[in-house]
Every structure is written in C-alpha cells, then in structure tokens.
Homo-oligomer: A and B are copies of this chain.
C-alpha cells in the first residue's frame, strides 16, 4: 500500500530556513534564508549517503546517513512545490538526486523534463491532490514523498493527504524564519492533528522523530486529576 510521506529538517523552534529576504535575489537569499537553512541541513551535507547521491566524495557513514539512504530508497515518486523546483532546477543539473518521477505543482504549463538516472519532472496544473494521485500511480509499490518546500508540505498535511511525517530536529534555535507549521493548518482552538509516535532516533547533531498521521480530532478538556481526588 503506497503511503504518502513527508520529512523535513527543522530547528528546535520549527524553522526550516531563515527569514524570507526583502529582495528575492541570490544575495538576499544568502544573507537571510540561507544561514538558517544551511544550519538545519548541515547534517545531511555531512552524511555519506547524501554525498554519494550528489556525486561528491567523503562524508560520514552514520545512523543519519542510513536514514537518508532509507528515505531515498522508500520513495517511488515525489511531489514538489513550484518554488522548490525553481530553486533546484539549475543546481540539480542533468542527474538530479531523486532518480524517480517528480510531480511539480505549478500554474505554469511546461513539457515533461526527462533527466538522467531515472528522474523526470512532470508539471501538474490541477492542484496538489491530483499531483499526489499521479505520483501514486507512478510510485508502484513504493511511497510517494512530499519533497517540499514547507508550504506544500503544510498544504498536504492540512488536506489530510500525508500518512507519515518525519522531522529531523536540529539542536539550534533560530528565533525567526520560514516555519514548517503555522496557522495555515486551519485548526480551531479545540482541534488538533493527532500523530502517533512511530520512531525516535537520537544521533550526533540531530534527532529523527517519525510519526504516523492519525488525522484531525477534537481536543478534550479533562478533569486535571480531580476525578481521582473526588473518589
């Protein structure tokens, strides 16, 4: 059964990048978003399995590296936001690290891009849910991974389309920046999205916490222990 999975590296205070720059150019990005983004993804860059995918030498053979390898291996197809694709198209080059079909949610029509190593980019104009459907058809027995960015992941969670969520929690507080979770989840004060803890792996420099998404549920008021005192 194909699951829809999502995973993201975040600071302990829930940011996956620094604040959006006032000017949307490379210098602005490097000064604003990049320091936080680089900090929370440093553990990925250091891991051998990620470096191998990029054609880079070196890296640490670690539990975190195994988790990255497992994440790549589980994904039979990806769903991606337009902004993430735009930022990645050039640096990913001819042999992007996905090695599977990628479905990009966008409003701009474009021909399918075929890349080396099994990666293709298909541009889906009729929304996230349809992109996930197409990705499920392409994934075979494997999972569909929501590749990001943050707003696409949040939209998928809000729409109840994510089955498994993994956060890689990096031991730093950023204070401000791009938050993975915000009020766009559109939950009332007495409503939450319940998760079930699936796995926690503590490694040097990052803690991996994985959940099964149970879905929206009412938050109950309890008697705060007084039911026992009264007994």
A interface residues (Cβ-Cβ under 8 A, vs B) = 11-14, 18-19, 30-36, 38-39, 42, 45, 50-51, 54-59, 157, 167, 169, 171-177, 180-187, 189-197, 200, 202, 204-205, 207, 209, 211, 219-222, 224-226, 228-229, 231
Contacts and interface: CB of A to CB of B under 8 A. Distances in A.
A173 B202 contact: no
Nearest to A198: B171
Copies in the complex: 2
Given A45-B224, A187-B173, A200 B202 contact: yes
A190 B228 contact: no
Contacts of A59: 228
A182 B209 CA distance: 22
Contacts of A229: 54-57
29 contacts: A12-B209, A13-B14, A14-B14, A18-B189, A18-B190, A19-B189, A35-B189, A35-B190, A35-B221, A38-B221, A38-B224, A39-B220, A42-B222, A45-B222, A51-B225, A56-B229, A58-B228, A59-B228, A171-B194, A171-B197, A172-B194, A172-B195, A173-B187, A175-B183, A175-B185, A175-B191, A175-B192, A176-B189, A197-B202
